[in-house]
Structure 1
Amino acid sequence: MAATTRDQKRAQTAERILAAAREEFALHGYRGATIRAIADRAGVHASLVMQHYGSKADLFAIAAELPAGDEGGAAEHLAAVLDVRMQGLPPETRALVASMLTSPEAEATVRAFLQERVENLAASFEGDDAEVRALLAVSGILGLTVARHFLTLPAFEHVSHDELVRAASAWVSGAESA
């Protein structure tokens, strides 16, 4: 068995931290995840998390990226996002979305977040229309979120959560291959 170099060990540690961060952010969201919990999950000291990734915000940005050219991973990611968005919204998300049409600061925050999501998703799609498909997917999820949680359309009362997520996932998957 070949010896592991220092650079290889460093890369393995960075990967463990990134995997742990993805799990913590998925379980607790950005606000609920802590550097200490990420470090504990990765089996490293918290200072190593900061040494490898700089800040919690930087680590989140990297953890939230989809792999380029991975449409299967993108579809899985979109299905998970739909699943979360069709359930209850965290108070901070609810406040931000509710304020986006009346507060310039909230509007700018939502716009920047959604644009980053479009760019990241488009990078994982193939084809000349990748950006358009990503834009439709992100906009569609926002529309479903608003219709479900703010407009509380009565039609949502007659559709189970699983049925809604399944149908929306099929729509998004269809947008991927259009």
Structure 2
Amino acid sequence: MTGTRDARRAESARRILLAAQEEFAEHGFEGATIRSIADRAGVHASLVMQHYGTKAALFRNAVQLPPGEAGVASQHLADVLDARLGELPPETLALVRSMLTVPEAEATMRDFLQERVENLERSFDGPDAQARALLAVSTVLGLTIGRHFLKLPAFEQITHEELVKTAGALLAGEG
């Protein structure tokens, strides 16, 4: 019976995590609730807390890329590039604009980017996984700054789609 109980528990955790990913994607951290995640997963809210402890812990789990799945990482990078090269939300603009002059913003950005490097590293294979992850995160940051803050004229001379496609291929090691 233990296997059956363990299997049910694992399936509940999987459904909760999928529901959390969808809720966080649609509503962000602030807009998603434990109750809405539980409802989407078809479980009681207390089961969400039992599996993940806190909303913050569930969020950390929900935003992790699967380890060793480079295809997922490549698609994730393409999605990130698409978002960062498009219009940025005001809170992202404020954080990036302030990261070099405000110690709190610098610390927040450093912690966020380090977590992104570690997340990507786990999804890449090979001895150069950390270097590739660091280069990917740094490249996205550089493109974001070049596009939104320095307003490099070259960004006006290439389509958004072509830039995302080319940068994605470079970051995936295809270019």
Does TM, normalized by the shorter one, top 0.5? yes
Aligned letter for 1:145?
Answer: T
TM superposition shift of 1:152: 2.1
Residues 151 and 52 of structure 1, relative CA distance in 2, 3 Å threshold: same
In structure 1, the partner of 2:22 is 23
Residues 31 and 164 of structure 1, relative CA distance in 2, 3 Å threshold: farther
TM superposition shift of 1:159: 2.5
Matches within 5 A, 1:72-151: 72-151=71-150
Aligned letter for 1:150?
Answer: F
In structure 2, the partner of 1:6 is 5
In structure 1, the partner of 2:167 is 168
In structure 2, the partner of 1:46 is 45
> How does the TM-score come out when normalised to structure 2?
0.90
Aligned letter for 2:27?
Answer: H
Partners of 2:78 and 2:28 in 1: CA distance? 17
TM superposition shift of 1:139: 0.3
Residues 151 and 93 of structure 1, relative CA distance in 2, 3 Å threshold: same
Partners of 1:13 and 1:158 in 2: CA distance? 49
Partners of 2:59 and 2:151 in 1: CA distance? 31
- Cα deviation digits, residues 140-167 of structure 1 (max 9, x gap): 0011111122222222223222222111
- Number of corresponding residues: 175
Residues 135 and 69 of structure 1, relative CA distance in 2, 3 Å threshold: same
Partners of 1:154 and 1:13 in 2: CA distance? 50
Question: RMSD in angstroms over aligned alpha carbons?
Answer: 2.1
Aligned letter for 1:137?
Answer: A
Partners of 2:75 and 2:151 in 1: CA distance? 26
Q: Name stretches of at least 5 consecutive residues in structure 2 with no aligned partner.
A: none
Partners of 1:37 and 1:94 in 2: CA distance? 29
Q: SS of the residue aligned with 1:165? A: helix
- Cα deviation digits, residues 61-85 of structure 1 (max 9, x gap): 1111112211111111111111121
Residues 48 and 91 of structure 1, relative CA distance in 2, 3 Å threshold: farther
Q: Name stretches of at least 5 consecutive residues in structure 1 with no aligned partner.
A: none
Partners of 2:32 and 2:82 in 1: CA distance? 20
Residues 10 and 170 of structure 1, relative CA distance in 2, 3 Å threshold: same
Partners of 1:31 and 1:47 in 2: CA distance? 19
Aligned letter for 2:93?
Answer: R
TM superposition shift of 1:127: 1.6
Residues 146 and 167 of structure 1, relative CA distance in 2, 3 Å threshold: same
